[in-house]
Amino acid sequence: MALEPDAFERLWTPHRMAYIRGEGKPSGSGEDEACPFCRIPGQSDEDGLVVARGEHVYAVLNLYPYNAGHLLVVPYRHIADYTELLEGAETAEFSAFTKRCMTTVRAVSAAHGFNVGMNQGSVAGAGIAAHLHQHVVPRWGGDTNFMPVVARTRVLPQLLADTRALLAEAWGA
């Protein structure tokens, strides 16, 4: 009897990983222009879909969201593994931004729940394994059935722009 994967498993299916089919997927190792998470901070908030910038990390909308308001918390440094975050300010801000993503999304959308986490390594489903990023995915009751469909659909750029502006405003409130 085949086991039906639950919603959580479908959520983290590697082939739907952020940016995996997008431009700028890194081909090599090391910090370079090909890494989208290294490139985004050099763009405007609007172009990069950046919601908030901290001293060590930033929050950005996922270009290929699993759900509306799907955010990523990303360190500026090109590090792959969670354990490489420096003790102190960098780790603290990474955690603080994760919490702030949740409170901000809740403030604007009344999300019922969240999936929060990191895929560590390609084998675990990381589309951009070379650069650490934490997913913050809001969930609503009943969204399970259409999520796999949504996840394969690129959201209209204007919708992402509107979502970014909404979250950026709420972030500072």
Binding site for substrate: what residues are annotated?
Answer: 62, 135
Tokens of 11: 């959520």
Residue 56 CA to residue 117 CA, distance in Å, equals 19
Per CB under 5 A, does 38 bind Zn ion?
yes
- In angstroms, give the least distance from the CB of 28 to Zn ion: 11
Neighbours of 94 (CB within 10 A): 20
Q: Which residue do the tokens 């589309």 mark?
A: 127
Whether residue 133 contacts residue 37, with contact meaning beta carbons closer than 8 Å, is answered with: yes
Per CB under 5 A, does 37 bind Zn ion?
yes
56, 70, 131, 133: which one is catalytic? 133
| Choices 7-15, 36-44, 91-99, 139-147 (CB under 5 A): range interacting with Zn ion | 36-44
- Our measurement of the distance from residue 150's CA atom to the centroid of its chain's CA atoms, rounded to an integer in Å, reads 15
- In angstroms, give the least distance from the CB of 64 to Zn ion: 17
- In angstroms, give the least distance from the CB of 162 to Zn ion: 27
- In angstroms, give the least distance from the CB of 69 to Zn ion: 23
Whether residue 71 contacts residue 167, with contact meaning beta carbons closer than 8 Å, is answered with: yes
Name the residue type at position 21.
R
By CB under 5 A, what part of segment 43-102 binds Zn ion? Answer: 78
Residue 138 CA to residue 102 CA, distance in Å, equals 8
State which residue, 26 or 65, has the beta carbon closest to Zn ion. Answer: 26
Residue 49 CA to residue 57 CA, distance in Å, equals 14
| Choices 16-24, 33-41, 55-63, 85-93 (CB under 5 A): range interacting with Zn ion | 33-41
Per CB under 5 A, does 106 bind Zn ion?
no
Phi, psi of 18 (to 5 degrees): -55, 135
The only residue of 11, 17, 35, 51 in contact with Zn ion, by rule CB under 5 A:
35
78 a catalytic residue:
no
The only residue of 16, 131, 139, 164 in contact with Zn ion, by rule CB under 5 A:
131
Whether residue 134 contacts residue 72, with contact meaning beta carbons closer than 8 Å, is answered with: yes
What positions carry a catalytic annotation? 133
By the criterion CB under 5 A, which residues form the site for Zn ion?
Answer: 35, 37-38, 78, 131
